[in-house]
Structure 1
């Protein structure tokens, strides 16, 4: 069973495309091999800036012959139907077989496909993969028709076993597959031959190429943290940047550089963002002060001066970049200290949405809503309004224009510079949160009020203009906004009836409920349990809804809960069928004086006792107590159905028993709509 080595060697592949490209190469080739009748033991894909590589182990040497029979039309079918069958099978009419069946003679096609060698199949599969590779962007060069992300220089397509290695015959647009590759662009010598994957990886490393991206990342992080630690510093963790930089180099050389003292007064986030976005530098922090004082850059080669020239050039470019950031920062501070009025006025000329007005109009709505919400979240209304009025002022700042990802954070710095209360400054940064399911949730009351107002204004506004999410499309991130409201409410334990918020329609409330189901499902709460609680009054109070759902979910996991549910469903089914048959509603009038059986009398007493406990428990939102009271009905209901026939021949007794079942439905239904809970 041979092993396979594939390498596609090209000019530099953008770092952001490498991981997916390696995965795509693996899936295209292995899926193609399997579809052609081959199997394999394992496969792994690799990428560097100049190559994609694939190793396939234990490939079967050839595919098995295949004999396939296809039933076609009847012999007397229209000629066009027969011609279509011939086209589908690739056979002539003379090659078809005629067989007798119950409804007459029918054409059959017997298609025999001989087995093929792995080399023949591999060449076909790889050529198809290369010609149809799903690059986000690709280019054509020279006179050929092949498109690749960058000019493709060479291809290795090699099969090896105990007898040795052979090149698979393959040519794509004049590029003939071979067993030759090249090492590092600057530090390696001539091209070299390889005999298999192990030989390939080892020779690449000798030629200053680390094939595995995760190994390059580990080298970078190890050297960077060691160099920083030696100077009493620490590298700011950034896994995304680490993965990107590992895709920029084939032989990582870590260099630690200093930031000019003139820039150390910039906010650390500004330094970090500027260095990351413009230079792909890691920030190095002083753990005692929190200041960013140095940086790490990763070169792609070793030099005689140990990187001194490279580092000097990088520091020069960095100084120019940070000079811009310093200029923005100082200009912005002047406006902030003047009260940010210029920025707030300019937002009147910035359109939020053509149907929802300017950013200034939106801010006015958010401020009004934040003032209304403030008492519900324990915030001072005046502070909430003030925070909402300045929370988005930094959108007009030069720093946020240059680095949009710093919005909110810069708002905090500017609010502090303006001398605004600490609660207001904190809300400027926190009001965008949470941005996702794992993002931190604000808990400071003023921040919570503004964050809720911001998200609720977005949702009610887009609902009002009928711009709702459809399918997978959600251009205004309304699902994220709804989840943000849900998390703010639940984490802070807020009593916030959404039905009382202006603009929250029944349709929007249903959207909240759908988002809540998704959120709770990930926490193990069943969708039918949530539905049973949504059907109750007060379902617009999300915290109350979740509290009820959690109590019901816990109750239904017990034996009492499970058996009571079955008893309830039996009572509800009998009652529903009787009401449909009789055309009346049995909802009142059950009287113990018509009870004939002791189990029937016991159920009357149990329902009276449960109702007396459940009603005050529900009023006090003590759902655990309500569930415990409901659990006491399990045994009386079971005993009733064992001893009593509801549909008695005596119509007075029958009506009384149906009305008794109605009491079961109404009392249990005061806790949750058990009709929608799955058995």
Structure 2
């Protein structure tokens, strides 16, 4: 069975597009081949800055012959009906088929690749068409599939060049398309506009110019390696990381890990050569994050730090070639550009520090009054004032100093007006911490400048410092309350203001810090009851998603949401966790069955009688020992449930309920509830209500799925 090698050779493909392009090429070609009837054992896609490559192993040599049968009209159907059926088969002349009318079953005619046969049916004689499609050789199918893939390739951006109509991400220079067997290799002939397929490729642009022929994937990969091209992006990443960490280790330093940068740089070079250089002393006083961000964003450099001090002292750059001077000229040029970039960063840093020294962070934040947050919610300065007031209100419940919380909120957004954040927006918050420290503000206030944005996502760290938690909650709650008050809520998949993320952030902040802040108390004052209720429901929806991801059943969540105090998220999660754990035990399962039986009997009786059996059960009317035992068990359980619920020890409360299992089972076995004696019947129904009420004090068990 032959192997297919396809290479699309072009000008440099942007690094950010390569991974998706590899997968698109693999999918487009393999799906097309399978749809046409070819099978294969495996397919691998590769990329370098100048090529996309697909290697398919054990491809079938031809597609199988297929036969398809179609049922047609009666043999003596009107000519118009016959003509319509035949047109669908690609047959224009109906005369041979019309001659089949009245012929015995089995009579047939051959028209090209179609056989029309008469068969007897309970409705009379019907026509059946058998379409035979002979198999096609693999090269013919490959040529069609590859051409279609090239013409329809889903690049995020593409271009035309010269006078042709073909579009590609960058000018496409050649197509290598080759089938290889043990007997040898052959070019799959295909043409796409001005390009025709061949069996040649090019190596490194500078280190191995010129084209050369290949014979199969193994030969192709080996010759590329000799021509200074590492085909596999993962191999290029491994080379870069190994050489960079080895060079740093040799001088007692370490490379700062950056997986995204590593992937990007591996997409920029075909022959990675690691070079390491030192940062000028004048820039070493910059915050390490500033150095790292500047070098990563502008130069695609890896940062190299001193592990003992955390200071960024050197950098690693990756060249695309070896040179006679071992990269000295390349490194010199990079250092010159880096010096200019870091000079800008140092200018921003020095200017910002002077501004903080002159007017303080609150003075720096004054410019926020000219920045609109939302046309219905005022400026950023208006928002900061709301956050400061709310943070002060929330602080006592979080163990934070109210004055520090308000102060932290007032300066938390100040760095948005700094030159450094204007150049590197991703450093917002972090630079605020540096500036607050430089201004001599308390550490808790400085930390809140950075941490109040967190958590940004489901895996982001959650701040634990009380002042940071107070400001982070105030920030997110103000955002949610503001947009709810102007009716700008998420709809479907649209959430332009990231309100779902804000709600998840509030949830994680409260749960991680055991914050006993009922939502209705925590929300800003002035919201209408309708807005407040709607917003709490939104929190519940987000909590359901969060807890389901933690493995908590949806019906358990619903059973707990139905209880009073459901706007206390910590209490709600504690209750749900205990209930889920209880329901996994045998006692929990059996008690749930007992609850359902009691609830059903009482519910049916109440519906029938039109009264509520919710009081008056008296042990003096008990006639059976099991009935008296259930009264005693309920008295004991209720006496234990009350203090357990007050202590929010739901496990203990459910353990008390579990002790009802045996007396409840014995009661239902020995006692008939709906007896003729109405005094006994009412008393027993009221007794069953006590079981229902005891269980419902822990959670609404009626919402637990059968």
TM-score (norm 1): 0.95
Task: Indicate the SS of the match to 1:555.
Answer: helix
Q: Return closer, same or farther for 1:378/1:105 CA change in 2, 3 Å cut-off.
A: farther
Once the 2 structures are TM-superposed, how far is the Cα of residue 80 of structure 1 from its aligned partner? 10
Using the TM superposition, give the Cα deviation of residue 266 of structure 1 relative to its aligned residue in structure 2, in angstroms.
0.9
Residue 403 of structure 1 and its aligned partner are, at CA, apart by 0.3
Match of 2:352 in 1: 332
Q: For residues 233 and 660 of structure 1, do their structure 2 counterparts lie closer, same or farther at Cα, with a shift above 3 Å needed?
A: same
Q: How does 1:5-404 map to 2 (within 5 A)?
A: 5-70=5-70, 110-337=130-357, 338-404=359-425
After superposition, where does 1:581-660 map in structure 2 within 5 Å?
581-660=608-687
2-structure distance, mates of 1:567, 1:150: 71
2:404–2:467 contact (8 Å) kept in structure 1: yes
Residue deviations 1:2-58 (CA, integer Å, cap 9, x gap): 211111111100000001110111111122222222222111111110111111112
Preserved contact between residue 362 and residue 411 of structure 2 (Cα < 8 Å): no
Question: Structure 1 122/654 Cα, relative in aligned 2: closer, same or farther at 3 Å?
Answer: farther
Contact residue 69 and residue 130 of structure 2 kept, 8 A: yes
Rounded Cα–Cα distance in structure 1 between residues aligned with 2:564 and 2:76: 68
In structure 2, how many angstroms separate the alpha carbons of the residues matched to 1:15 and 1:410? 30
* 1:455 partnered with 2:476: yes
Q: Distance in 2 between matches of 1:42 and 1:402?
A: 47
What is the deviation of 1:416? Answer: 1.1
Q: 1:242 to 1:615 in 2, by over 3 A?
A: same
Please say which of residues 593-602 and 142-151 is displaced more in the overlay: 593-602
Matched positions, count? 679
**2: CA distance between counterparts of 1:396 and 1:476?**
21
In 2: Cα distance, 1:78 partner to 1:37 partner: 37
User: Unmatched 5+ residue regions in structure 2?
Assistant: 98-113
- Tell me what 2:426 maps to: 405
Structure 1 residues 410-437: Cα deviation after superposition (integer angstroms, max 9, x where no partner) = 0011111111111111100111011111
Match of 2:581 in 1: 554
For 1:588 and 1:459, how far apart are their aligned partners in 2? 44
What corresponds to 1:531 in structure 2?
558
Residue 325 of structure 1 aligns to a residue in which SS? Answer: helix
1:432 to 2:453 alignment: yes
By how many angstroms is 1:663 displaced? 2.0
Q: Is the 8 A contact 2:362 2:410 kept in 1?
A: no
Structure of greater Rg? 2
Higher mean displacement: 156-165 or 484-493: 156-165
What 5-or-longer segments of structure 1 have no aligned partner? none
Partner of residue 420 from structure 1, selected from 441, 446, 450: 441
Kept in 1, the 8 Å contact 2:23–2:45? The answer is yes
* SS of residue matched to 1:133: coil
The structure-2 alpha-carbon separation of the partners of 1:419 and 1:154, relative to structure 1 and needing over 3 Å to count, comes to same
Greater shift in the superposed pair: 630-639 or 586-595: 586-595
Change (3 A) 1:127 1:447: same
**Alignment partners' CA distance in 2, 1:655 and 1:97:** 80
Tell me if structure 1 keeps the 8 A contact 2:9–2:50.
yes
Corresponding position of 2:599: 572
Residue 589 of structure 1: how far off its partner (Å): 3.1
C-alpha distance in structure 1 between counterparts of 2:613 and 2:118, whole Å: 69
Report the CA distance between 1:640 and its aligned residue. Answer: 2.5
SS in 2 for 1:607: helix
Call closer, same or farther: CA 1:109–1:614 in 2, change over 3 Å: farther
Alpha carbons of 1:102 and 1:516: their partners in 2 closer, same or farther (altered >3 Å)?
Answer: farther
The equivalent of 2:464 in structure 1 is: 443
In the other structure, the counterpart of 1:490 is 511
In 2: Cα distance, 1:543 partner to 1:84 partner: 70
Alpha-carbon shift at residue 159 of structure 1 (Å): 1.5
Counterpart-to-counterpart distance in 1, 2:141 and 2:651? 65
CA distance in 2, matches of 1:121, 1:198: 24
Partner-residue secondary structure (3-state), 1:140: coil
Taking a change above 3 Å as real, the CA distance of residues 476 and 105 of structure 1, as seen in their structure-2 partners, is farther
Structure 2 Cα separation of the partners of residues 577 and 106 of structure 1: 62
TM-score by length of 2: 0.91
Give the CA deviation at 1:637. Answer: 2.1
Give the whole-Å Cα distance in 1 for the aligned partners of 2:688 and 2:79. Answer: 68
The 1:116/1:605 distance shift into structure 2, 3 A limit, reads: farther
Aligned CA-pair RMSD: 2.4
Q: Deviations over 1:478-526 (max 9, x none)?
A: 1111111111111111101001123472222122122222222222222
Superposed CA offset, 1:202-260 (max 9, x none):
11100000001111011111111111111111111111100100000000011111211
Counterpart of 2:100?
Answer: none
Q: Secondary structure at the match of 2:198?
A: coil
Q: Give how far 1:103 is off.
A: 7.2
